A and B are shown apart, each in its own frame.
Chain A
Amino acid sequence: MLITFLNLFFGLLSGHRILLTLYQKKLIQKQTMTKIGTAYAVLTLIFVIHAGKNQTFAWFGVFFALILLNQVQLLLQYSRRKHFRREFLHLLNLVVLKMKAGRGLSHAIIQSKESFDPFFQNKISEIYNVVCFSQHFDFKNTDLFLIEAINELKKAHQSKQNSLQRIIIFRQKLKIEEDFRHRSRLITQQTRIQLYILCVFFISLLIYVVSQFGIKQNSSLILSSTALFLIGFVACIFIGRKKTWKV
């Protein structure tokens, strides 16, 4: 009983910390944090209550929910980063349009900001303050792309004569990068889709086998099968990620 309680307590605590990190990184809003947190706590509680005296199942339940939460974090980080590059390119398109219509760079940024969602509007405001008012910005934990974008906009802001030209050249570079990113994403996408589908099948089958035949009687079978599956999983990720350019 005590072990189950401690397992549940530390599981929930870890989940809370992951959610706090998500909130601090501005990946989710406070309301979303409460919703996800409640869903996570309910899911974990259901697992632990359903497990009863079966310690293994309780541990599995708590860690499964934690892994799920961690995956949400990775997914959000990835989608925000991916989203940011695309949105930034869109911002540059609008800025170039406004500048061609005779606006200054800072005015063009402020006017273009209105077309984006609140999360990205905040980001643009931060960039605007750094570029136009040289406000302090913590570059330590920042994405290399954001640093490059800020530096480029700063230079364009400083060079009044050819600021539009600089932004057009930067936009062209980003478009080429985006095109190549899309091409290489096709490689990782295929791997990822295959892995997700296989994972769903494997977990479903695992739950079926455990519920039908019991975990203790087939522990060695389940362990060896899971190990084999994980080796294949890691190998697939390795194949999808490893890219040494020959060019």
Chain B
Amino acid sequence: MEGLSPPLHLCMEIRIGIENGDSMQTTIDRYLMNNPTVFGQFVQKWYFMYKQGRSTSDFLNSLESQYRQTLLEVVEGGLNGQPILKLITELETEIMQATKDELDADLKLLPLKLLLPLLLFQFPAFLLLLFGPLLSTILKEFTL
């Protein structure tokens, strides 16, 4: 499991790219080259549509996460020449907080999730191994 959520990763890459003086195109190309993930593939398709001059709003609306949608809208503004460093920095803070919240929620749910395989499979496995041979020996004694 990766530590960073996909939109946070993209947001950081874009911010670092701008701060280093790289162009938006170079930054996105570099991100796409190093991220063969599901979100990376989505960004690739979106970027391809943008380069072809097609409208991307419907495509972006298909995203379930509002964070990803907003981020890509801001990045598109940056590709169109708008100054986005301040926006991207603020978005990064928001996405970082959301990622932390999601991880914390997962951590709270984990003990409950781990209890299920333990009770359904591993506990019966232990019981079977512990009492199975004893029971079969007792049963054999009775039948004799």
Contact = CB atoms under 8 A, between A and B. Distances in A.
Contact of A180 (B6, B67, B103): B103
A177 B4 contact: yes
Interface in B86-144: 95-96, 98-100, 102-104, 106-107, 110-111, 113-114, 116-118, 120-122, 124-126, 128-130, 132-133, 136-137
Contacts of B103: 180, 183-184, 187
Given A213-B133, A246-B65, A173 B122 contact: no
B2 interface: yes
Contact of A205 (B8, B99, B114, B129): B129
Given A184-B103, A190-B114, A202-B125, A232 B120 contact: yes
Contact of A239 (B7, B113, B120): B113
A200 interface: no
Given A184-B1, A187-B107, A235-B117, A218 B136 contact: yes
B119 to A, nearest CB: 9
9 contacts: A165-B19, A184-B2, A187-B103, A187-B106, A209-B130, A221-B136, A228-B125, A229-B122, A235-B116
A55 B6 CA distance: 51
A177 B3 contact: yes
Given A173-B16, A218-B136, A209 B122 contact: no
Interface in A154-177: 155, 162, 165-166, 169-170, 173, 176-177
B interface residue count range (under 10 / 10 to 19 / 20 to 34 / 35 or more): 35 or more
B116 A148 contact: no
Contact of B132 (A165, A202, A221): A221
A245 interface: yes
Nearest to B68: A247
A141 interface: no
B1 to A, nearest CB: 4
Majority SS at the chain B contact face: helix
Given A221-B128, A240-B114, 18 more contacts: A147-B34, A166-B20, A173-B16, A180-B8, A183-B3, A183-B103, A187-B106, A191-B110, A213-B137, A218-B133, A221-B133, A222-B129, A232-B118, A233-B122, A236-B114, A239-B110, A241-B1, A247-B8
Contacts, number: 142
A29 to B, nearest CB: 31
A144 interface: yes
Contacts of B130: 205, 209
Contacts of A228: 121-122, 124-125, 128
Interface string A21-57: 0000000000000000000000000000000000000
A210 to B, nearest CB: 10
Interface string A139-154: 0000010011000000
A183 B111 CA distance: 16
B12 interface: yes
A198 interface: yes
A221 B110 contact: no
